[in-house]
Amino acid sequence: MKRKDFVKGLAGMGIMATGISGCNSDTSQFDGQGLRDNKYKWKMVTTWPPNFPILGESCQLLAQWVEEMSAGQLTIHVYGGGELVPPLEAFEAVSIGGIELASSASYYWAGKIPAAQFFAAVPFGFNAQQMNTWLDVGGGMELWRELYAPYNLIPFNGGNTGLQMGGWYNRQINSLDDFNGLKMRIPGLGGKVLSKVGGSPILSPGSEIYTNLERGVIDATEWLGPYHDYLMGFPDIAKYYYYPGWHECGTTLEIIINKKKFESLPHHLRAILTSAISRVKSHMLAQFELKNSEYLAKIKSEKKVELKAFSTEILRKLKQTTTTTLEELAQKDNDTAKVYQSFKNFSQHQAEWSKASEAAYYSMSNL
């Protein structure tokens, strides 16, 4: 796939980027055979362009799996960002019930729900494995659903990108001072941290990133990982490719479903839908791992790019700034404080095990 094909349709993007519990309803209405024979035709919108690699493709797979498992009783028509509603109006469209479900990332709704950012990506936060654990069994999902309940929405863990890269730069980052005045396309909490160390976070449509970086409108950009970055053409216009992605360590995507529409489904269709979403979650991460490995090798062999690691000192200072940023946000918003406390508690709970398992393994693998 060429860059021009990859970015086609991105112009509409504003930024770019388990089983059910707690859904109480009267179940007696679903016991009759009549509802088992009814056909349900749903619409799904996304913040991704049509058939966007991995993210948009996963939505198509979700629709396919649901139709297969339900023998056609529940069908889902997937619309890419801008085809039915503007990408960043997906939340509202599902909330009011005009659309049944959507695929997105919760940090897009930070202006409406500041605490929502924690369910997408926290700088120096959880990796994909830890995010899944916190959400599925660590209390995170209950808080997420509580946060979205006033909007008539049920959020689901809709997949994970895994650890992202640190971004593309047209100048070296040798110290924290090099962030001063740096204009970088970076969303979410990572952008807030960049601002605190003197940088200028820029939120631009995905379709504009390549041109902005090429023309010097921005000095740097983060995106996803080697696979998507290669398709966007960044290796052709930026010299330095930094890692790790301190700002997005294991970014969770969301699938949001209108609560009333979900509860109107017979139980077996609810189970099919939640099972398909769970399958998407594991499939998406596997795809990112596979493609990023393949395309990092292509970048290194085909492009004149310097792959560089952020220094330990830079990362240490960015982490300190992240802690300050999160504490300040928690002081301003009660929901953020509640979610942040759960996030911290789980992190502390996992700390010793992580050191003895994941951290020790990676140290061992470098021997």
Residue-wise pLDDT tens digits, 117-128? 999 999 999 999
More confident residue, 18 or 307: 307
Mean per-residue pLDDT for 255-269?
A: 98
CA torsion 77→79→84→87, rounded to 10°? 140
- Cβ-contact 232, 167 below 8 angstroms: no
Looking at every residue in the chain, the average pLDDT score rounds to 91
Which tokens sit at 76?
């889902």
106 Cβ contact list (under 8 Å, min separation 6): 113, 116, 117, 119, 120, 144, 155, 252, 254
Q: Under CATH, which architecture does the 39-162+250-291 domain have?
A: 3-Layer(aba) Sandwich (3.40)
Q: Residue 239 carries which side chain, given as an amino acid letter?
A: K
More confident residue, 265 or 187: 265
Mean per-residue pLDDT for 182-207?
A: 90
Residue 26, pLDDT score:
41
Element (H, E) at 75: strand 74-79
Q: Pairing relation of β-strands 220-221 and 183-185?
A: parallel
Residue 16 CA to residue 49 CA, distance in Å, equals: 10
φ, ψ dihedrals at 331, nearest 5°: -75, -20
Residue written as token pair 């529409």: 261
Residue 144 CA to residue 146 CA, distance in Å, equals: 5
Residue-wise pLDDT tens digits, 215-231? 999 999 999 999 999 99
Q: What is the pTM of this model?
A: 0.88
Please report, for residues 40, 142, 149, 206, 258, the alpha-carbon distance to residue 27 in angstroms, rounded to integers and kept in the order given: 18, 21, 20, 44, 18
Residue-wise pLDDT tens digits, 6-52? 555 554 444 443 334 344 444 434 444 456 679 999 999 999 988 89
Q: How far apart are the first and last CA of the chain?
A: 37
